[in-house]
Structure 1
Amino acid sequence: MRARLIYNPTSGHETLRENVGDILNILEKAGYEASAFRTTPEEDSAMHEARRVAEEGFDLIIAAGGDGTINEVVNGISPLEKRPEIAIIPAGTTNDFARALKIPRDDVVEAAKVILKKQKLPIDIGQAGDKYFMNIAGGGSMTELTYEVPSAYKSILGYLAYLLKGAELLPKNSPIDMHIEYDDGVFDGKATLFLIGLTNSIGGMEQIAPDSVIGDGTFSLIIVKETNIRDLVHLIALVINGGRHVDNPKVIYTKTKKLSVKANNDSKIMINLDGEYGGDAPMDLVNLHNHLTIYANIDSMPDKSIPENVNIKKESD
């Protein structure tokens, strides 16, 4: 079996570059003939390499870096009919996807060792036009702060950078007039933001979609209706305090397999895909059920986050 490590040398204060040899040794121990590719400043470098090795018939791709690197790998292989399995080694800022899969986020070598456990999970992927996302999509004035945080701040301050920028933007927050269609209904009016998630971890917080089940074929949909600063601060407090925001009258929280969003009047909605700008509405977003298979630290994942019909043996069983 062949495995290709695709790593971003600038992620994680260059810890990836220093540990490539150890990671390749772990892959060899797992039974793979392993090689590595160092991403370049060229646009979509990781995506192009993932597509190339997938078409060559590699069995496994390891995406090592931040959420952006992982998103590129997902976009490289998701359009293909024959897709390799994937693993991730987190070395970025929020590492939402790794957080949900309980993969170590503070030691890249320990993250690689998850592959030795041979525990794999089928996961859903979101499709938005000709782009793909593995964790979150959204729109609204509050989601736009991710575009305004300088990369240097992300590297130094991590998620704190987003919180600081968010606090700065709160007084400027303006709800957007939008039309959203989802499986069980329609929302038409002004909203501060909408989010659809594939895991329970969004922006470093694990309570935004408290009952999310990985790979169950649905998105967790959150629509925050028109709010003022006091409402937003209150909702954030409810998120932190056990995910109780889902019962607030300012919030629509449900599950859906697809979503269509467009702006009303002269409004503009920039769509955020995994923290990056993904185009403007109108846009259709669809859940691709069990589209990829990924290595996960399933022993550490709560049973409620895994579909009941997925029979995966834990080491503790």
Structure 2
Amino acid sequence: MDKTYDFIVNLHSRTGKAKEIWESLEEILTKDGVSYRVHITEYVGHATKIAEDLTADDAYHFLVVAGGDGTINEVLNGIRDLSKVSFGYLPLGSANDFARGLHITAEPEVILRQILASETEDAYDLGQVCCGGQTRRFAISAGAGIDAAVCREALTSRLKVFLNRFHLGKLTYGLLTVAELFRAPFVSGKVELTDGREFHMKNIIFTAAMNFPCEGGGVPMAPSADAHDGKLSACLVYGIPRFLCLCAFPFLIAGKHENIRGFEIVEAEELHVVFDKPMVVHADGEDCGDQTDVTFRCLPGALHMPHLD
């Protein structure tokens, strides 16, 4: 099959350093005579529009996203039919939790050559969050509470921009979490799982529905999460004083929190969560508003990616 690749590129990723990396990648494409088109994102949400336009026909498409986790989420929510897309990825962001979940550690130039040489595909689960009359796909995680509030803050954080200059962007989420922990409202709620289990929660810190183990620049919310098992792994944190929650954060960062009081990890195809007050909801760090009724579900094997050696 003759392939023409459509590259959706966010040159603002990694505080603008992605531009230099992309230029070196395009040299490879030109030198190797690859048939390709480039679509540069120009504003928030533009990657969604690009993906919508590219997949509006009935053809099979070879998309490659060059950017960060936010760009991935935008593209996933623009693709009209996931079964007709091969989804390649070049990690150019600061957090790169999607690449971490896929165990991609090579440099972008190496990954690009592997994508171009690949003849087979691997299938991965995706997630979907439904709330406030909207539905949004996610690749890494979705959640409600402090982690979502931190994601909202990080989208416009000057601290993140500053730390990215020193390659310390991952620290943004930790520092913002400490601040948010003590100013977030007190909320109660209930979680219902597809197997009939229910969790009645008071003093909710957050609920995180994980497709891959890590979010927020490498924090292993659900260390055993597997994007091949047809389930989401949810980390529920509730019922403990906030100061004790802060003290437990080193265990969370180390992935040793599963047996700590107030931390619950469950697996399910779908979770329905109801809060008594609105909580901030996110999908891969993208803001989904303040909601009281949220459903997280797994989309088994929905994403098809080029097999990488």
What is the TM-score with the length of structure 1 in the denominator? Answer: 0.83
Deviations 1:170-228 (A, max 9, x none): 33244411121112411123121111100112212353212122221100111111222
Q: 3-state SS of the aligned residue for 2:258? A: helix
Amino acid at match of 2:149: E
1:90 match: 91
Aligned-partner Cα distance in 2 for 1:31–1:102: 29
Query: Which sections of structure 1, spanning at least 5 residues, go unmatched?
Result: 298-314
Amino acid at match of 1:141: I
2:228 match: 215
Amino acid at match of 1:210: P
2:62 match: 60
1:154 match: 160
Deviations 1:40-64 (A, max 9, x none): 12x4211111122223435311111
Aligned-partner Cα distance in 1 for 2:8–2:147: 32
Amino acid at match of 1:113: R
Aligned-partner Cα distance in 2 for 1:155–1:103: 24
2:141 match: 136
1:260 match: 272
Amino acid at match of 1:89: L
Aligned-partner Cα distance in 2 for 1:29–1:75: 32
Identify the match of residue 217 of structure 2 among 180, 185, 204: 204
Aligned-partner Cα distance in 2 for 1:97–1:81: 17
Q: 3-state SS of the aligned residue for 1:247? A: coil
1:9 aligns with 2:11: yes
Q: 3-state SS of the aligned residue for 1:282? A: strand
Aligned-partner Cα distance in 1 for 2:171–2:294: 30
1:55-204 matches, cutoff 5 A = 55-56=56-57, 57-77=59-79, 79-80=80-81, 82-104=83-105, 107-116=107-116, 118=118, 120-129=121-130, 130-149=135-154, 150-157=156-163, 158-184=169-195, 185-190=197-202, 191-204=204-217
Number of aligned residues: 292
Q: Is the 8 A contact 1:197 1:219 kept in 2?
A: yes
C-alpha deviation, 1:278, in angstroms = 1.2
Q: What is the alpha-carbon root mean square deviation over aligned residues?
A: 2.5
**Percentage of pairs with the same residue:** 25
1:287 aligns with 2:285: no
Q: Is the 8 A contact 1:2 1:58 kept in 2?
A: no
1:225 aligns with 2:235: no
C-alpha deviation, 1:21, in angstroms = 4.8
Q: Is the 8 A contact 2:82 2:302 kept in 1?
A: no
Q: Is the 8 A contact 1:135 1:199 kept in 2?
A: yes
Aligned-partner Cα distance in 2 for 1:31–1:254: 48
Amino acid at match of 2:283: L
Q: Is the 8 A contact 2:97 2:217 kept in 1?
A: yes
Aligned-partner Cα distance in 2 for 1:37–1:244: 42
Q: Is the 8 A contact 1:24 1:35 kept in 2?
A: no
Aligned-partner Cα distance in 1 for 2:210–2:12: 27
C-alpha deviation, 1:29, in angstroms = 8.2
Q: Is the 8 A contact 2:144 2:279 kept in 1?
A: yes
Aligned-partner Cα distance in 2 for 1:295–1:233: 40
Q: Is the 8 A contact 1:2 1:34 kept in 2?
A: yes
Query: Which sections of structure 2, spanning at least 5 residues, go unmatched?
Result: 164-168
Q: Is the 8 A contact 1:4 1:58 kept in 2?
A: no
Aligned-partner Cα distance in 2 for 1:26–1:120: 22
1:311 match: none
Aligned-partner Cα distance in 2 for 1:225–1:240: 17
Deviations 1:208-260 (A, max 9, x none): 2121222211001111112223321333222234x221122312211110111
Identify the match of residue 279 of structure 2 among 233, 244, 269: 269
Q: Is the 8 A contact 1:60 1:86 kept in 2?
A: yes
Q: 3-state SS of the aligned residue for 2:39? A: strand
1:250 match: 262
What is the TM-score with the length of structure 2 in the denominator? Answer: 0.85
C-alpha deviation, 1:289, in angstroms = 0.6
